[in-house]
A = this chain, B = another copy of it.
Amino acid sequence: MSDLLQRLRDRGWRLTAQRRVIAEVLDGEHVHYTADEVHAKAARRLPEISRASVYNTLGELVALGEIVEVTTDGRAKRYDPNAHHPHQHLVCAGCGMMRDVQLTQDPMAALPEGERFGFAVSEVAVTYYGRCPDCVAGA
């Protein structure tokens, strides 16, 4: 993620303070923040940053393939900066916490040709649901 700003500059992005702060917030190992969480964390460094800029920037980063939008429940979308390493997600049904997981089989291979109904299938998302150790202990 450290060279993200360089890649964006190479693509003709204007490097504003807002974009820089948002990129910094997303820089981390197992980060899956909602747009509002990104906004709150960004605002600690740049108090006047607007929600609109956060939504704009996240949308642009998704379009560029630098981050991935993840929807697990019907709540807020989360943004996953680990876009360059294919992986799936494990979600706690209690607290919503998310972890990246690696599968031993390619899920795309599990969908036979006869079940594609003429679709041009391009992506697959696998989400596991359960209770994290904290929520199991708490319940």
Contacts and interface: CB of A to CB of B under 8 A. Distances in A.
A101 interface: yes
Given A107-B110, A110-B105, A120-B136, A127 B125 contact: yes
Contacts of A71: 71-74
A77 B73 CA distance: 9
| Size category of the binding interface on chain A | 35 or more
Interface stretch (A15-23, A38-46, A111-119): A111-119
A74 B112 CA distance: 27
Chain A at the B interface: mostly helix, strand, loop or mixed? Answer: mixed
A56 interface: no
A7 interface: no
A63 to B, nearest CB: 13
Nearest to A122: B130
Nearest to A72: B71
Nearest to A73: B71
Contacts of A115: 90, 101-103
A99 interface: yes
Given A90-B117, A105-B105, A122-B129, 10 more contacts: A71-B71, A90-B115, A101-B111, A105-B109, A119-B133, A121-B129, A122-B131, A123-B129, A124-B127, A125-B126
Please provide the 3 A-B residue pairs with the shortest distance between their CB atoms, ordered closest to farther: A121-B130, A118-B133, A119-B130
